[in-house]
Chain A
């Protein structure tokens, strides 16, 4: 009975520890992304280093994908417990089984919906962001309860030597081999997907939803056609309207180009985990706001040419609005902005999710 010897708390606890770390990283980075998009008064998000969101959201997807092989091995190590007698048992046992059901189902829910979402495959008929966010608390809470219930077993198992298998019973792989194989599978899963945010892995990330290619060397999440802005963006009547209370100024594209230009290398990092570094050129937002006398401690509302929808208008916090690297970009990697990247002009700010870097800007409002 090698299997029952190989399976056991020595492996469950160690793989569980790795899975716990992956889940913790995934949960915290996910919360960061959520609170950037749904700001709360207590939430503080810096503008430096400029790649901070690229890092946190890249980690969110990488740790989630790493959790897939980890959870498979973890479930393998405890699967026979599913059939342990008594199957039903008393209320305490039923409660324990229920808590495990909540734990496993919420974890599988998070990993499966997340994996589908990065490939933009909405096979489920519920809204991804809200259900993924809500279920994250269920999963994280279930993990904490599970650790609380199993703490004595975890401590004992982590203290035990890994090779403590009765002699003569070892007829197949050792526990060390199982852990080594788990590590290899995690490495494999990472290598074949992480290239969508780690440039030097691009060529080997054969299963990454993004190759990192796109017009002007940058992928697109929402095209101009999908946003329905092609006509408005190319209209000769286009103006960028900047409003501060009673003061309103309108800029043609030529007027924006005539203003002092700044160039910064900033990453564009999508909530779906892909990111690329790019060179953006345009007007510093603070300079534009100065033309209408906006205060440096004011938030800005960015309004797109796109018809009203969840991301057609966003609020840029004052800290980012006054940052010297926050641009109303007119050029990308040395060329006039491609229409799918937000022509005539778009917002690009450090440490912000791509979905909030409003494209096809039509209006900037200084909020009171």
Chain B
């Protein structure tokens, strides 16, 4: 394993070093712009997006019954992905008058429909989980003997 790890480290550093060398061929001002763009992604994720998700998660736990947590978290994550993918197309910033074949959809409509479909699925899932006895059994079977929470409703 040591040999494999050493090989991975050496190859990885060589490949990354080649990339750095290619980047280095740019004028200093361009290198700076590239570095700023790359670091902005990290800062935005680590210090804005991630704390926001933690805050939303904690708030959601206090505000929602337990059986909502999983489906809402899933739909929330799906919504984040949809919004991220919509960023470059939503207001069609790359559109050009001479070429109507680029960005040729109604993106606001598409985003809202896909978000709505996602959340309708969540509501349907929660409703099914509540009214289907099989689901409740499934939940019970998933729990351990020491787990005293999340008992199915009696009556």
Which residues of A approach B to under 8 Å, CB–CB?
Answer: 3, 65, 68-69, 72-73, 75-76, 79, 82, 101-102, 104-106, 108-109, 112-113, 115-116, 118-127, 130-131, 133-149, 151-152, 167-168, 170-174, 177, 181, 184-185, 188-189, 192-193, 206-211, 213-215, 219-223, 225-226, 340
Contacts and interface: CB of A to CB of B under 8 A. Distances in A.
Given A135-B34, A177-B70, A214-B101, A108 B42 contact: yes
A206 B149 contact: no
A128 to B, nearest CB: 11
A211 B102 CA distance: 8
A172 B64 CA distance: 12
Contacts of B19: 106, 134-141
| Top 7 A-B residue pairs of the complex, sorted by shortest distance between their CB atoms | A141-B16, A206-B110, A137-B19, A148-B8, A108-B41, A144-B12, A141-B15
Nearest to A137: B19
B99 A223 contact: yes
Given A152-B1, A168-B147, A192 B85 contact: yes
Nearest to B53: A76
Contacts of B93: 119, 121, 123
Interface in B1-47: 1, 4-9, 11-20, 22-23, 25-26, 30, 33-34, 37-39, 41-42, 45-46
B15 to A, nearest CB: 3
Contacts of A149: 5, 9
Contacts of B53: 76
Nearest to B74: A181
Contact of B34 (A108, A109, A148, A215): A109
A119 B88 contact: yes
B89 interface: yes
A144 B82 contact: no
Contact of A109 (B17, B37, B94): B37
A198 to B, nearest CB: 15
10 contacts: A75-B45, A127-B30, A134-B23, A136-B19, A140-B16, A141-B12, A145-B8, A152-B1, A173-B73, A213-B104
A209 B110 CA distance: 12
A214 B102 CA distance: 9
A148 B12 contact: yes
Contacts of A184: 74, 78
A147 B18 contact: no
A134 B74 CA distance: 35
B133 to A, nearest CB: 21
Main secondary structure, interface of B, reads: helix
A226 to B, nearest CB: 5
A116 B37 CA distance: 13
Given A126-B33, A192-B85, 6 more contacts: A68-B81, A127-B30, A138-B19, A184-B78, A206-B111, A223-B98
Task: Tell me what chain A mostly uses at the interface: helix, strand, loop, or mixed.
Answer: helix
Interface residues of B, number: 77
B23 A131 contact: yes
B64 to A, nearest CB: 11
Contact of B84 (A68, A109, A144, A145): A68
Given A76-B50, A138-B23, A124 B70 contact: no
A135 B38 contact: yes
A56 B75 CA distance: 31
Contacts of B20: 134, 138
A171 B149 contact: yes
A146 B16 CA distance: 12
Given A135-B23, A167-B144, A209-B102, A173 B69 contact: yes
- Name which of B15, B80, B118, B150 has the most chain A CB atoms within 10 A of its CB: B15
Contact of A126 (B26, B50, B102, B146): B26
A188 B147 contact: no
B26 A120 contact: no
B105 interface: yes
B144 A192 contact: no
Q: By CB atoms of chain A within 10 A, which of B66, B99, B143 has the most?
A: B99
A185 B81 contact: yes
Contacts of B38: 105-106, 108-109, 135
Given A211-B104, A225-B98, A172 B69 contact: yes
B78 A124 contact: no
B103 interface: yes
Contact of B88 (A104, A106, A116, A147): A116
A142 B26 CA distance: 21
A126 B6 CA distance: 35
A170 B147 contact: yes
B62 interface: no
B34 A131 contact: yes
A167 B147 contact: yes
